[in-house]
Structure 1
Amino acid sequence: MIGVDELLERLSPLGAVTSRRFFGGHGIYWDGLIFGILHDERLYLKVDEQSQPDYVARGMGPFRPDERQTLKSYYEVPPDVLDDPEALLSWAEEAIRAAQATAEGPGR
Structure 2
Amino acid sequence: MNTADIADIFAAFGPVRCRRMFGGLGLYADGVMFAIAVDDAIYLKTDADFAARLQSAGSCIFGYERQGRPVTLGFWSLPEAALDDADLAAELAARAAMIAQTAALRRPARRRTPTDAPEE
**Shared fold (TM-score greater than 0.5)?**
yes
Q: Where in structure 2 are there 5+ consecutive unaligned residues? A: 108-120
Contact 2:9 2:84 in 1 (8 A): no
Q: Report how far residue 13 of structure 1 moved.
A: 4.1
Judged with a 3 Å threshold, the aligned counterparts in structure 2 of structure 1 residues 10 and 78 are, in CA distance, closer, same or farther, namely closer
Per-residue CA deviations over 1:2-48 (Å, capped at 9, x if unaligned) read 43321123324444420011221100001221000001110000001
Question: Which residue in the other structure is 2:90 paired with?
Answer: 89
Letter in 1 for 2:82: V
RMSD: 2.0
Give, in whole Å, the separation in 2 of the partners of 1:55 and 1:64: 15
Judged with a 3 Å threshold, the aligned counterparts in structure 2 of structure 1 residues 30 and 69 are, in CA distance, closer, same or farther, namely farther
Larger Rg: 2
Query: In terms of mean alpha carbon deviation, does 62-71 or 94-103 score higher?
Result: 62-71
Query: In terms of mean alpha carbon deviation, does 81-90 or 11-20 score higher?
Result: 11-20
Query: In terms of mean alpha carbon deviation, does 79-88 or 65-74 score higher?
Result: 65-74
* Secondary structure, counterpart of 1:74 in structure 2: strand
Query: In terms of mean alpha carbon deviation, does 2-11 or 23-32 score higher?
Result: 2-11
Letter in 1 for 2:48: E
Question: Which residue in the other structure is 1:27 paired with?
Answer: 26
Q: Where in structure 1 are there 5+ consecutive unaligned residues? A: none
Q: Matched residues, percent identical?
A: 29
2:79 is equivalent to residue 78 of structure 1: yes
